[in-house]
Chains A and B, each alone.
Chain A
Amino acid sequence: MSEADGIMRLRQPISVTYNWSAGPNATSHLNGLLDGTLVGKRCPGCSLVYFPPRNGVCPKCARILGDDVVVGPRGTITTFCVVNVPFLGQKIKLPYVAAQILLDGADISMQHLIQECEASDVRIGMRVEPVWKDRSEWGPSLENIAHFRPTGEPDRDMGVEAGAS
Chain B
Amino acid sequence: MADLCAVVGVGQTKHASCRADVSIAGLVREAVDRALADANIGIDDVDAIVIGKAPDPLEGVAMPELWLADALAAHGKPVFRVHTAGSVGGSTAIVAAQHVMAGIHGTVLTVGFEKQSDGNAMWALSVPIPFGMPVHAGAGGYFSPIVRGYIKRSGAPSHIGAMVAVKDRTNACKNPYAHLHEPDWTLEKALESPMMWDPIRFVETCPSSDGAMALVIMSEERADKHAGPKAWVHATAMRSEPTAFAGREQVSPRAGEMCAEDLWRKGGITNPAKEIDVAEIYVPFAWFEPMWLENLGFAPRNEGWRWVEDGVTDIGGSLPINPSGGVMSTNPIGASGMLRFGEAAMQVMGKAGEHQIDGARKAVGHAYGGGSQFFAMWLVSSSKP
List the interface of chain A (C-beta within 8 A of B): 1-3, 5, 7, 9, 12, 14, 20, 22, 26, 30, 33, 46, 48-50, 52, 58-60, 78-85, 87-92, 95-96, 98-100, 107-108, 110-113, 119, 124, 140-143, 145, 160-165
Contacts and interface: CB of A to CB of B under 8 A. Distances in A.
Interface residues of B, number: 47
A84 B197 contact: yes
B198 interface: yes
B148 A88 contact: no
A140 B136 contact: no
Given A82-B195, A87-B123, A98-B135, 5 more contacts: A83-B197, A98-B137, A100-B145, A124-B148, A163-B251
Given A79-B148, A84-B196, A89 B126 contact: yes
B138 A85 contact: yes
Contact of B152 (A2, A91, A163): A163
Given A60-B246, A98-B141, A108-B245, A85 B197 contact: yes
Contacts of A142: 131-133
A80 B131 contact: no
A104 to B, nearest CB: 14
Contacts of A113: 133, 135
Q: Which of B120, B149, B250 gathers most chain A CB within 10 Å? A: B149
Given A84-B194, A87-B126, A163-B150, A5 B145 contact: no
Which one of B123, B126, B198, B242 has the greatest number of beta carbons of chain A within 10 Å? B198
A96 B198 CA distance: 10
Contact of B130 (A5, A14, A20, A163): A20
B133 A82 contact: no
Given A79-B146, A124-B152, A143 B133 contact: yes
Contacts of A91: 134
Interface stretch (B15-23, B67-75, B309-317): B15-23
A111 B19 contact: no
B248 A88 contact: no
Contacts of A49: 246
A17 to B, nearest CB: 12
A111 B383 CA distance: 49
B140 interface: yes
Contact of A165 (B20, B22, B127, B245): B245
B153 interface: yes
B149 A3 contact: no
A2 B19 CA distance: 8
Contact of A1 (B16, B122, B195): B16
Given A84-B195, A96-B135, A111-B135, A14 B60 contact: yes
A7 to B, nearest CB: 6
A2 B245 contact: no
Nearest to A8: B20
B269 interface: no
B224 interface: no
A1 B131 contact: no
A82 B198 contact: yes
